[in-house]
Structure 1
Amino acid sequence: MVKEPVRILVVGGGYVGMYTALRLQRKLKPELKRGTAEIVVITPDPYMTYQPFLPEAAAGSISPRHVVVPLRRVLDKCRIVVGEVRSLDHGKRTATFTTLATEEEGAGTVDLTYDEIVLAPGSIARTLPVPGLAEYAIGFKTVEEAIGLRN
């Protein structure tokens, strides 16, 4: 009988999610090589944004590509899923997520079982209740917003 690998699910590929997966990848190197462990990272973007460098990218001092870290390059022993976790059933140890492919195909959600989970979904920028702010302001949390400010 073939035993299923132990699956560690990391929800979020930002700073905390990426460094957690990186540390797990290093600590579990023999298990990953043997196939007795698997690390899955589910994140909306295939890169981690190093936010302290966003002002330099917006000012044009550095290229926007120097603000991001491609997850597939850094986490080469992990499975990276570009998608969003919609719900968790911790009793069944199941995460339900969607990807762009499942949405385009109309396939709906996908269930993924896990043995251990790390929740690192990040934060959402809050818009203050200033009249006109939400309609006319440019955010400053993503690389795309920094490029928009620069332009």
Structure 2
Amino acid sequence: MPKILIVGGGYAGFYTAWKLEKQLRKGEAEVTIVDPLPYMTYQPFLPEVAAGEIEARHVIVGLRRHLKKTRIITARVTGIDHANKVATITPDVGEGWEEAYDQIVVTAGAVSRTFPIPGIADNAIGLKTIEEAVAIRDRILTNFDQASNLPPGPD
């Protein structure tokens, strides 16, 4: 049976696997998706999470919950040998291994950009992941709590 390997479980990876599940007949191909996170994030809603308007759980889609026929591996693809059609899979815990494939779809996504402004890489928080949106919200709330204890300013 042909093996289709999808690198990345974000928007493009999730929808690729979802469409393949709908279009492939049973036994036509084995679909595997590899991503270090077991969910896809609706990034356009991250500002609402940072603002506290919606909860973080409403912005993510669990891969296992929606991809019933797809094999899901929570790990990173750390190498692709396309000549031999093999990808190196590295989990956070345990030994890595090589995964053979017939077709590969690389949808690894993006990372937050930092501009060449001194200190931004060390002090700023990106807004590409649910964890970053929650960190921004928590920082804002902490700053408001600290500001509420300051003495009143001049009239």
Structure 2 length normalisation: TM-score?
Answer: 0.85
1:69 to 61, 64, 82: 61
1:101 deviates by: 2.4
Q: How many residues align?
A: 138
Unaligned runs of 5+ in 2: 139-155
Q: Find the aligned partners of 1:36 and 1:138 in 2 and give their Cα distance.
A: 44
Structure 1 stretches (4+) deviating beyond 6 angstroms? none
- What residue identity is the alignment partner of 1:46? P
Separation in 2, partners of 1:146, 1:13: 19
Percent identity among equivalent residues?
50
What residue identity is the alignment partner of 1:13?
G
Out of 5, 15, 18, the position equivalent to 1:9 is: 5
Give me the whole-angstrom Cα distance separating, in 2, the residues matched to 1:55 and 1:132. 23
Asked if 1:122 is matched to 2:114, the reply is: no
**Structural mapping, 1:128-143, within 5 Å:** 128-143=115-130
Length-normalised TM-score, structure 1: 0.87
Corresponding residue for residue 58 of structure 1: 50
Identify which of 89, 92, 100 aligns with 1:113: 100
Aligned to 1:46: 38
1:44-93: CA deviations, max 9, x gaps? 11000100000111111111101111001111110100111111111111
Q: Give the counterpart of 1:27 among 23, 26, 33.
A: 23
Q: Residue 96 of structure 1: SS of its match in structure 2?
A: strand
C-alpha deviations, 1:84-129, integer Å up to 9, x for none? 1111111111011100222xxxx3x210001111111101222111
Structure 1: which amino acid aligns with 2:89? F
CA distance in 1, matches of 2:93, 2:23: 32
Q: Is it true that 1:150 corresponds to 2:137 in the alignment?
A: yes
Shift of 1:36: 4.5
Q: Are 2:88 and 1:96 equivalent residues in the alignment? A: yes
CA distance in 2 between partners of 1:120 and 1:139 (Å): 20
Structure 1 residue runs of 5 or longer lacking an equivalent are none
